[in-house]
Structure 1
């Protein structure tokens, strides 16, 4: 049976008795004050009206700034100012450290073939064809076991000055375009090896980008391969170095040797206001910070982070973690990540810390299983059976788990499809995505499942309070020497 709220509060209260003398010396009154904070009661302090209030402000900011809050834009800067102002109003000292990122934008993308226009998408960091594009002979690479992955694939083919068509698979896109470039090709078109369009492709690193490269769907690739003649490819792109900011605030109370870090990405994609992705995570973390306050009665310090340029490759969180010393990394007890909490066809998902689903990337670092149990228990107490979701590297926990820091959180789903079994558990529509508005202009407040937002927002607050009270006990994470051994790979 799930532990009751009362029993769980008792576990945390009992765990407080074993807080180290060093931690207590940082704030002598903390043990007595910490007993005044109850995780279940704190969860109820983060309400749906408060969350939607923050989302209304983020949507207003997007509307006043070209419809988005993407990194490097005025909409993102206004989002930073809003979050920082809210935190300062709650008494926090706030930092907004800058970092550099590579901004890739597309002004135009088109492909004209003898048979007509073909939908094409520029791969991230593709060099530009210029607005007038490149016109050249279309040459199809053999669709063999290593399509376009070896220079010998072009033996007997004249690809000098040509637009090369190659099938996706086996090697990275960057390798395909580099090999074609070595043989003198002017541009590359990659056809998907699955029925859907090829979207989200990247050359990985601007330094690896040599010739314009775009992606098309599988059926379009087959039709194009059968065509004879010239094509005109337009990929009018810009790649430039820019700066953005994270927002960081930490409680003035609690042990700084067992920091509970809580994060959500603040930027949207350029195509929409980003209210579910990830205004919802921002709202829940921000409201938790406001309700907790800058000087709460807690055992462990809580550090709140709002990440920039997540949509460009997790840049803000990566840069933050990379800049930490070994000692600073060791002081972070755990990381809680919240990215999309109100999907319109919502799931109730927790990061699969113990890999009990046996899918994808495997378990998180030691302690991630306990974080999963904490959120599963909380949702169970609300009458909700949670399901697992893989640590698939698509959000800001990536840099933390790479350093051995246990991580977890709740998630309402993105572009994956809700199964019939999940629809039976949670309601909603089976065989369609959790969020049909993902990365689109339709990602607005009106499209949210506010019931899911309220449940998940309270879960965020619960997790914050639970670990602010104690990182020990059966659902705790490694501390002290056990933490050192776990992160060093010891038993």
Structure 2
């Protein structure tokens, strides 16, 4: 999942259906049969898929992705052999089930990491652990040695974002230490550079003091070398600086490059080609770890859903198209490429899009993408029909006594390009580095005050990081929505594609707020 749990939006309370179902369970009553807002003639296939899409089988796909990562340097990032091998695994299973998967190639800018190193020179020597930012400017070979200058944050919600944040202190030739938040890190480094700073260290500022999230800069606006450091090291540096001068050496170097990668697309041979139901999950991970929750979890469950759906090709009324996106971790580039290259008719033929990103978070919240947003301020609502997709999923989980909360459409996963093109969207996630609230801990268990995934974009995002319970629960929701919409989308989009209003395909661009990998 691309950054920052990115994910500081407001979140709705659980749906009324979920509350009532949970209360019924507490009273010893059995939950109602799977609800679908009064629509009973369209759920037969959905019920079958929920039974047939088994967690154990999807877990085998996850194990395969772990095996692939282990044999490819521990990563499955876009443009690497680990990503290609992951795609080959998905494609081989799809072909055996009767699909004809294709690859949709595209290229994107990337950054080759050469050196990320740092140390405190004075007052007492110790090693630092910076992560050079993607598209950072380079320090000289051997590094840059300079005094540390801490950018004050206090109660400021936008630390290091404004020129005024640097007033009253000398940053000329110094290494600026800046807290995260309030604006993109590209903006922070521009402001620091304008104040004379020679380099910048960005505090990841996660409750886990050792977590370091690599930042991604907008290449055209890069002025100085930039790296991320963990909260523990940042706080220690700030404490040292409060006692007196601190001198650092940072060695931050890399090189821009162009990468060729691809999406994997497969669809059912049956069903209306002018009323397509599309599912997507990104198959790529980050360069810091194997990416088993982010996003092997959704990729594996989507594969198992496609394999089980293949047993029911004759029951499908609407063509179902599956996508395993490339380069999501670089700013939703695979899904953006796909949508941008759809014809006008191709956009009109898409009845809806279902997105799944990180469905096995260890400290999870059970989240359904919020297609309405009418009850709070936040990111804008999805296109017409998105709220209905949300209700189908929340009703399903509610019928099982499982409360859900809404997840804002903030443009930071692969649904973004579809929403921009006017296509109804929905789906599920269990969260990345968003911090669990006390209310969520009461609803879902787990640890309040900690990330929903404490291995987000880290080396420890391996198979042991995936929570099997939420993986199975959200997988059942995926199966339900797939089967339901494969038969009936009449409450989501007009049956006649000519009556569907679609905006022009959006230009390919990285979301401006995506400043973490």
106, 110, 114: which one aligns with 2:122: 114
Q: In structure 2, do the counterparts of structure 1 residues 155 and 436 end up closer, same or farther at CA, with 3 Å as the change threshold?
A: closer
Cα distance in 1 for partners of 2:383, 2:105 equals 28
Compute the displacement of 1:155 (Å). Answer: 10
Structure 1 residues 184-333: aligned runs within 5 Å: 186-190=198-202, 200=213, 202=215, 204-216=217-229, 217=231, 219=235, 220-221=237-238, 223-224=240-241, 227-228=244-245, 230-293=247-310, 295-333=313-351
Q: Is the 1:108–1:131 contact (alpha carbons within 8 Å) kept by the matching residues of 2?
A: no
Partner residue, 1:94? 101
Question: How many residues matched?
Answer: 463
Structure 1 residues 49-68: aligned runs within 5 Å: 49-68=56-75
Cα distance in 2 for partners of 1:189, 1:69 equals 27
Compute the displacement of 1:313 (Å). Answer: 1.9
Cα RMSD of the aligned pairs, angstroms, is 3.4
Q: Is the 1:368–1:477 contact (alpha carbons within 8 Å) kept by the matching residues of 2?
A: no
Residue ranges of structure 1 left out of the alignment (5+ in a row): 15-34
Cα distance in 2 for partners of 1:336, 1:348 equals 16
Compute the displacement of 1:434 (Å). Answer: 2.6
Partner residue, 2:464? 446
Cα distance in 1 for partners of 2:205, 2:400 equals 43
407, 416, 420: which one aligns with 2:438: 420
Partner residue, 1:129? 139
Q: TM-score when scaled to structure 2?
A: 0.79
Structure 1 residues 164-179: aligned runs within 5 Å: 164-165=175-176, 167=178, 172-178=184-190
Partner residue, 2:24? none
Q: In structure 2, do the counterparts of structure 1 residues 483 and 423 end up closer, same or farther at CA, with 3 Å as the change threshold?
A: farther
SS in 2 for 1:361: coil
Q: In structure 2, do the counterparts of structure 1 residues 481 and 223 end up closer, same or farther at CA, with 3 Å as the change threshold?
A: same
* Per-residue deviation, residues 107-134 of structure 1 (Å, max 9, x unmatched): 3231434234455332331122255112
Compute the displacement of 1:377 (Å). Answer: 1.0
Q: Is the 1:359–1:390 contact (alpha carbons within 8 Å) kept by the matching residues of 2?
A: no
Q: Is 1:83 the equivalent of 2:90?
A: yes
Q: Is 1:346 the equivalent of 2:357?
A: no
Q: In structure 2, do the counterparts of structure 1 residues 418 and 232 end up closer, same or farther at CA, with 3 Å as the change threshold?
A: closer
SS in 2 for 1:81: helix
Q: In structure 2, do the counterparts of structure 1 residues 301 and 172 end up closer, same or farther at CA, with 3 Å as the change threshold?
A: same
SS in 2 for 1:302: strand
Q: In structure 2, do the counterparts of structure 1 residues 130 and 468 end up closer, same or farther at CA, with 3 Å as the change threshold?
A: farther
Partner residue, 1:17? none
Cα distance in 2 for partners of 1:6, 1:394 equals 31
Compute the displacement of 1:485 (Å). Answer: 4.3
Q: In structure 2, do the counterparts of structure 1 residues 98 and 6 end up closer, same or farther at CA, with 3 Å as the change threshold?
A: closer
Compute the displacement of 1:254 (Å). Answer: 1.4
Compute the displacement of 1:103 (Å). Answer: 2.3
Q: Is the 1:478–1:486 contact (alpha carbons within 8 Å) kept by the matching residues of 2?
A: no
Partner residue, 1:13? 41
Cα distance in 2 for partners of 1:195, 1:249 equals 40
Partner residue, 1:371? 389
Residue ranges of structure 2 left out of the alignment (5+ in a row): 1-16, 22-30, 505-517
